[in-house]
Structure 1
Amino acid sequence: MSSSPLSSVEAARAAVAARLLAIMRDAGLTGHELATRCGWHKSKSSRIARGRTPPSDADIRAWCAACGAEDQIADLLASSRNAASMYVEWKRIHRDGMRRVHEQTVPLYQRTRNFRVYASNLVPGMLQTAEYATGLLRSITDFQRTPDDVADAVRARLNRSSVVRQGDHRFALLLEEAVLRYRVSDNAAMAGQLSYLLSVMARPNVSLGVIPFSARRTVWPLEAFYAFDDAQVAVETLTAEINVTAPSEIRTYLRAFGDLSKIAVFGSEARGRITEAIGSLG
């Protein structure tokens, strides 16, 4: 099992670096000679070849031209851009506020038939109430110091969440019990959010499990992740969203989801955990 959600990003970047190194060696050049041909500092080619510095589009073009491998530019550019798109910083995603990213992901939500979501820190976005989402998005905006469009972003999030009630979509969701206890918003909003979980659990297209504090762990707590069919997994870290598309990586996340499901409780026992959390709000 992957020890970090960055593994697929690192692997993609390493593959680009390895291909550039092979091109340089096939051309019979040293790193110093290549840097000289490209007009770079002597250490730049070494940093790129070892994967320490991701190459820009211009770097790839210059590298291939210096090695007489112009025919490989297009393929390398595509591979490099794919590696870069897998890791997207939240500050870049939210540079104009958060409403736009919610609107941009509506097509992904609409075409996904089977959602598998593991939440270790927050109620998943598609199950959030307006009040809970407002508290959460307000704290994100303040922390990231990005433009304040919280009200618009909440409306966009709720609109995107309509897939729970409309269309042919199925949701399998696993929440660590801690998610029920984290005070993301005030007590009234938390009570409303937890009550909504009780309500949505009754839907035939929703399976919601809670992983108890006392569960004997066979899989350690992970970063929150969203699996969209078998095509993509989005992993959330503090600074970025990582989009995993490599089939082997997706299979690893789905295997983790399956193992986590085995230690979760469902039905009346899950409802009991949620009800206890509501009672703790006082």
Structure 2
Amino acid sequence: MTTDFQQARAALGARLRELRAERGFTGRELASELGWPQSKVSKLETGRQTATADDLVAWAHGTGCPQAAEELTSRLRSLESRSRSWRRQLAAGDRPVQDTLTAEYERSRVLRAWQGSMVVGMLQTAEYARHVFSQYVDLHRSVRDVEEAVRARVKRQEMLYVPGRTFHIVLWEAALRALVCPPAVLAAQLDRLSGVLGLDTVSLGIVPLGAPLGLPPANAFWLYDDRLVIAEDWHAELWLDDAETVAVYGRVWQALADSAVYGADAHRVITRARRALDAS
């Protein structure tokens, strides 16, 4: 989790502790009142566990301050706007996550992406996406709605052909070589990338493996206009919308984009990866 997330969760815990103290309860007494293990009260107050909205409403009523429920749940919404755990997001499967992302794409006009480990979802073939979704379902042990998620992702790609929206996508060459799928599927995916180079709405840059780098090629992220960053980690997505943070990610993206090649040079890098795949 980010330091900001931890601090926000700790601050929420301090507020919960304050409400309990005002009621004159010990942690054990409040746990008994709510029918919870005492350890849960302790973890929530010390910021070691993230409360649910139901937890916060119960806490407000249990401490005799039902009017505090709205304040507490508002704090939770603010906290979750930064870190959205995959466990919670995937409770109903991958399809709802894809629909949420589609709404952000529709709100945006200039989208910038960095991805160093695989082809970005917006440019994935259906078969490539199918393998990626299956791997993440296995990792998170979530609902297996792979086909629905693939259809939603492919449907979103129709935006690539609609004027008025531009995509500035930068990939590391390593993403073209990662065998996250069978070789035949990757070959088709590379052919798809070659075709994308001709789209008016897409600027596709490839950072060659030997290129000098202004910054280390770290985690993947998307920038939606200059209002929102969505960055991926193994445990969660980070949704970051404060201006200073968005500006940092903008500088990161530009540094990586400056190391990329475009047009005919990008096509040569893709072709090189395709030939290496055929020779393997």
Indicate the TM-score class for this superposition, using the shorter chain for normalisation.
0.7 to 0.9
- Indicate how the Cα distance of structure 1 residues 57 and 185 shifts in structure 2: closer, same or farther if over 3 A, else same: closer
Distance in 2 (CA, whole Å) between partners of 1:91 and 1:39 is: 25
Q: Which one of 6, 11, 15 corresponds to residue 10 of structure 1?
A: 6
Match of 1:38 in 2: 30
Match of 1:264 in 2: 260
Match of 2:197 in 1: 201
Q: Deviation digits for residues 245-274 of structure 1, max 9, x if unmatched?
A: 333322222221122222222232222111
Distance in 1 (CA, whole Å) between partners of 2:54 and 2:129 is: 41
Q: Deviation digits for residues 97-127 of structure 1, max 9, x if unmatched?
A: 3233323432222121111111021111111
Q: Which one of 151, 154, 157 corresponds to residue 150 of structure 2?
A: 154
**Are residue 237 (structure 1) and residue 230 (structure 2) matched?**
no
User: How far off its partner does 1:58 sit?
Assistant: 5.8
Q: Which one of 247, 252, 269 corresponds to residue 251 of structure 1?
A: 247
Report which stretch shifted further, 59-68 or 90-99: 59-68
More helix by share: 2
TM-score by length of 1: 0.81
Contact 1:172–1:208 (Cα < 8 Å) also in 2: yes
Contact 1:8–1:246 (Cα < 8 Å) also in 2: no
User: What amino acid maps onto 2:70 in structure 1?
Assistant: A
Distance in 1 (CA, whole Å) between partners of 2:23 and 2:142 is: 48
Contact 2:116–2:219 (Cα < 8 Å) also in 1: yes
**Are residue 112 (structure 1) and residue 104 (structure 2) matched?**
no
SS in 2 for 1:105: helix
Contact 1:141–1:147 (Cα < 8 Å) also in 2: yes
TM-score by length of 2: 0.82
Contact 2:27–2:38 (Cα < 8 Å) also in 1: yes
Contact 1:38–1:62 (Cα < 8 Å) also in 2: no
Contact 1:212–1:265 (Cα < 8 Å) also in 2: yes
Report which stretch shifted further, 232-241 or 6-15: 6-15
Match of 2:215 in 1: 219
Contact 1:119–1:224 (Cα < 8 Å) also in 2: yes
Contact 2:56–2:69 (Cα < 8 Å) also in 1: yes
Match of 2:224 in 1: 228
Distance in 1 (CA, whole Å) between partners of 2:79 and 2:220 is: 21
Percent sequence identity over aligned pairs:
32
Match of 1:176 in 2: 172
Distance in 2 (CA, whole Å) between partners of 1:104 and 1:191 is: 30
Q: Which one of 102, 114, 122 corresponds to residue 126 of structure 1?
A: 122
Match of 1:276 in 2: 272
User: How far off its partner does 1:279 sit?
Assistant: 0.7
User: How far off its partner does 1:23 sit?
Assistant: 6.7
Question: Aligned-residue CA RMSD in angstroms?
Answer: 3.0
Q: Which one of 179, 183, 190 corresponds to residue 187 of structure 1?
A: 183
User: What amino acid maps onto 1:273 in structure 2?
Assistant: V
User: How far off its partner does 1:280 sit?
Assistant: 0.7
SS in 2 for 1:280: helix
